[in-house]
Chains A and B, each alone.
Chain A
Amino acid sequence: GAVVSQHPSWVICKSGTSVKIECRSLDFQATTMFWYRQFPKQSLMLMATSNEGSKATYEQGVEKDKFLINHASLTLSTLTVTSAHPEDSSFYICSARVPGGGRETQYFGPGTRLLVL
């Protein structure tokens, strides 16, 4: 299957700092990528849909000014958590849709574990 990578795999930061997470599709070009958040023992919750060359679409309740998404190329989307707080500590997972495939053909990255102290 298609490969999606994320970097970093884990990060610890102080409250108030910003953290950038990268999501890359390694062997295909993804016009659409998705960002999810998963709290312990909870389901994946879609945060936003990232479209190459245009603004991201955010789900209800997700602050676009806090979670900045940039999809500058067909293989890279970034999520920046600005002014992070302890309640932002979570597992952030990106996925990329294979061209020509429906949303069911998303491939997920390995996730980034964020801990805000």
Chain B
Amino acid sequence: QKEVEQDPGPLSVPEGAIVSLNCTYSNSAFQYFMWYRQYSRKGPELLMYTYSSGNKEDGRFTAQVDKSSKYISLFIRDSQPSDSATYLCAMRDDKIIFGKGTRLHILP
């Protein structure tokens, strides 16, 4: 079992919809959980990071961590075409481990 599992998509949703992106992981030692956004042919951009379990909200983005289920989520409200990108989850204990990323398309 890989340390971090993420559905690569692509995921296509209409503009304005709520988007739910998820990752599962196997290493219970992970304490920090991050979401990055990566546009085509660009480096990743840190969107949010969360320490341990719980929710964190920043504008249209909400990150959730459920350590008991080893499951993290990123919700995007009122999705926009500019949100179209690849979203990578990442988590760390000693080093950062990235998911493969989910390609998201917001349809105008």
Contact = CB atoms under 8 A, between A and B. Distances in A.
Given A44-B88, A93-B43, A102 B32 contact: yes
A108 interface: yes
A113 to B, nearest CB: 7
Interface string B19-42: 000000000000010101000011
A103 interface: yes
A70 to B, nearest CB: 20
A109 B41 CA distance: 11
B56 interface: no
Contacts of B36: 108
Contact of A43 (B32, B46, B88): B88
Contacts, number: 51
User: What range describes how many residues of A lie at the interface?
Assistant: 20 to 34
B44 A104 contact: no
A100 interface: no
A113 B45 contact: no
Dominant secondary structure at the B interface: strand
B71 interface: no
Interface of B: 4, 8, 32, 34, 36, 41-46, 49, 88, 92, 95-96, 98-101
Interface of A: 1, 4, 6, 41-46, 91, 93, 95, 102-111, 113
B41 A107 contact: no
Contact of A103 (B41, B96, B101): B96
Contact of B41 (A1, A42, A95, A111): A111
B100 A104 contact: no
Given A43-B88, A43-B101, A44-B88, A111 B96 contact: no
